Structure 1
């Protein structure tokens, strides 16, 4: 049996097992903002950087830029750029969300020609966001249009005595369980998946109450007091005056209910459509983690397919998308397993949505049992009252294999450098090495 996770948060988010059995190195990530650096990799292998020498000159109707942000979420950063450059929301695009507690570099596309003097003015007036390296391309960015990300992470206060053993173990197993990482749910307030489940189930009042009222130990005292005040008084107007301004979604919901009490659907729809989708997506991620953990409990591989499993086929090892999905059976199982070992295929598990076709074989049994335990069927992911939060479903690789992994010790610190395909979490890999006892206090 593989090594079970002991952290309460891991089990709460259904990240119940480790792929590497050896003891962890401990330590902490993100003590300083520069300890966690993320650089986006485009679909054609270009790495986002403030050094413009390796970027294409290009041509086309879209200006691409590299956006550097420090300790800020991607949506806020793009919104500030949009307003400053005075471009329409639909004319600015980006491929993925990047970590907030990090220094990140990602591509952003803007329709038309952007005045470089305006970029210089923007950079002078902003300390946490910088725009670098404008170049032209014939197409816009959209969510998911990237190969992946490169990470450089400094782990402080670590014990390197087990580092070699862990590294050798990773080489032996090749892949670790590809859990959806902590930040998808919120480490400090891990409730996004619970809000999402209530939305999917049509329990909109419960979704709002979970978002506004539930208190967790690591959140700020101001937030705790505001939630306690709202729970005891029901005074939305008074709560809005004391609720932290940084919590935009909660404030939108509170402001709506102050005007229209009991309109919980309207309150949820007052949140940006992007965030509404994130709630439902978090529940889908929770279900994925639960399916993966149950698969491990049933002694099925997170790397190699069994009959009835879905397998994604890549045209080449570094291609950014699988081009076909096959069902493993007794006739093709050996060929598919070889393709996985050669880096040309990946075992896929479903991200449940209203169009999901459940797997066959033992994996299909697991999926049906979990849906029954959750009291849900896949048709629920079409949300009639909030259709923009609906999801048709997709697939996600069951295993994670880092690309170009490099590890070295720097004094008392250990530095990890590696690349991951899109949608994979650096913290999922780092968790295997660190094995955090308290993920929040250790920077996860």
Structure 2
């Protein structure tokens, strides 16, 4: 479902934006060392979704591993539902994937006692079913361990030795875990619509659409906290009052003393500092960390109040993005392949900008 158009008041707010755009957020390691063209073709951006579990092998749902080209996730869900003769509500998926790419991801379809459709008929529409398995439950959002990426960079210019050094730095130290620009919609429309929602002037919209707008506001506030910590050069440092998150978990704990045990866990990547996903309730941090987060909240009081009024709770998100299998491989004189794996909920764009200034066709 598409968002309603921006109203005249939304466009006025656009002229008085009070937040930093994604392009204005600071990088962690001195800016990109390469320039390149990105997404010249769909096959230049390949994403392979990794499920957090295996198929059950029986049940009323069918679990499908689908490869799609130049198609968004919701459109594929509608096509699967139509072929199966079920409501689109009977289709589940773990995450949204880029349209301008070749992506492999998982869907579930609740068939019940209906016959198995001829999934191969979707191939003419750019939807290729690679695997199908019976499963007992609908696939829920977030049921991922991560995503693997293979990205072709074209028309590459810059210092290749510096690029190799940057890859080593990112592998060792991680990247800022910003929410990517797609979180905010075209022209940051999700943020402007959220402002209208908080002011009681939003266009009519579904609960799902409003949820996207609220998520965009939380994401922008998180990005601002992370940006200020990067500017202070303590975004990947454990501070008294921080909440440290356990790697591979949503669990976190308060740092009361930064001792050798905490420092060693930071060095090993076992824990990482977190930033706020604002909502109702008191901040979860203390000391100078809490003061910084409260300053960000004070700069956008309507946003923070609106999130609390919507019933969202205080949550945390890792400030540091851990990267696995990061490689940069030459494939032609002016072309490079960038390969890596990221955990669920993170954005390839936040990693790429630490290495490369890109233009999109």
Give the TM-score taking structure 2 as reference length. 0.85
Deviates more, 1:418-427 or 1:332-341: 332-341
Question: What is residue 226 of structure 2 aligned with on the other side?
Answer: 292
Greater CA deviation, 22-31 or 33-42?
22-31
| Aligned-partner SS, 2:125 | coil
User: Is 1:425 matched up with 2:347?
Assistant: yes
Q: Residue 305 of structure 1 aligns with which residue?
A: 238
**How many angstroms does 1:293 deviate by?**
1.0
Asked if the contact 2:279–2:312 (Cα under 8 Å) also holds between the matched residues in 1, the reply is yes
Task: Report the 3-state secondary structure (helix = DSSP H, G, I; strand = E; otherwise coil) of the residue aligned with 1:284.
Answer: helix
Q: Deviations over 1:121-161 (max 9, x none)?
A: 3x24x423233311123333111111111111001111252
CA deviations over 1:210-243 (Å, ceiling 9, x no partner):
xxxxxxxxxxxxxxxxxxxxxxxxxxxxxxxxxx
**Structure-1 residue corresponding to 2:167:** 167
- Residue correspondence of structure 1 range 265-414 to structure 2 within 5 A: 267=204, 269=205, 272-300=206-234, 302-314=235-247, 319=248, 321-322=249-250, 324-330=251-257, 333-355=259-281, 357-376=283-302, 378-383=304-309, 391-411=312-332, 412-414=334-336
For the 8 Å contact 1:358–1:367, the answer to whether it is kept is no
User: Structure 1 pair 396/57, CA: closer, same or farther in 2 (3 Å)?
Assistant: closer
Change (3 A) 1:76 1:355: farther
Contact 1:14 1:289 in 2 (8 A): no
* 1:37 matched residue in structure 2: 46
C-alpha spacing 1:359/1:198, structure 2 compared with 1 (3 Å)? farther
Q: 1:333: Cα distance to partner?
A: 4.7
Tell me how far apart the structure 2 counterparts of residues 335 and 60 of structure 1 sit (CA, whole Å).
47
Structure (1/2) with the larger strand percentage = 2
Q: Greater shift after overlay, 27-36 or 91-100? A: 91-100
1:404 CA drift (Å): 1.0
The match for 1:198 is: 196
User: Is contact 1:196-1:281 (8 Å) kept?
Assistant: no
CA gap of 1:190–1:375, structure 2 versus 1, over 3 A, is same
Q: 1:71 to 1:295 in 2, by over 3 A?
A: same
Post-superposition offset of 1:304: 2.8
Are the counterparts in 2 of residues 18 and 432 from structure 1 also a CA contact under 8 Å?
Answer: yes
Distance 1:67 1:357 in 2: 41
User: Unaligned regions of 5+ residues in structure 2, if any?
Assistant: 1-16
Give the match for residue 144 of structure 1: 142
CA spacing shift, 1:276–1:17, aligned 2, 3 Å: same
Match in the other structure for 2:66: 67
Q: 1:393 to 1:104 in 2, by over 3 A?
A: farther
- Taking a change above 3 Å as real, the CA distance of residues 355 and 65 of structure 1, as seen in their structure-2 partners, is farther
- Tell me by how many angstroms 1:393 deviates: 4.3
CA drift at 1:27: 0.6
- The whole-number CA distance in structure 2 between the counterparts of 1:39 and 1:391 is 31
The TM-score normalised by the length of structure 1 is: 0.70
Q: 1:23 to 1:131 in 2, by over 3 A?
A: closer
Per chain length, whose mean CA-contact separation is higher, i.e. which structure has more relative contact order (CA < 8 Å, sep 6+)?
2
Q: Please give the alpha-carbon distance, in whole angstroms, between the structure 1 residues aligned to 2:170 and 2:81.
A: 43
CA RMSD of aligned residues (A): 2.6
The C-alpha deviation readout for 1:313-338, integer Å capped at 9, x for no partner, is 24xxxx4x33x2201111x6543332
- For these two proteins, the number of residue pairs brought into alignment is 340
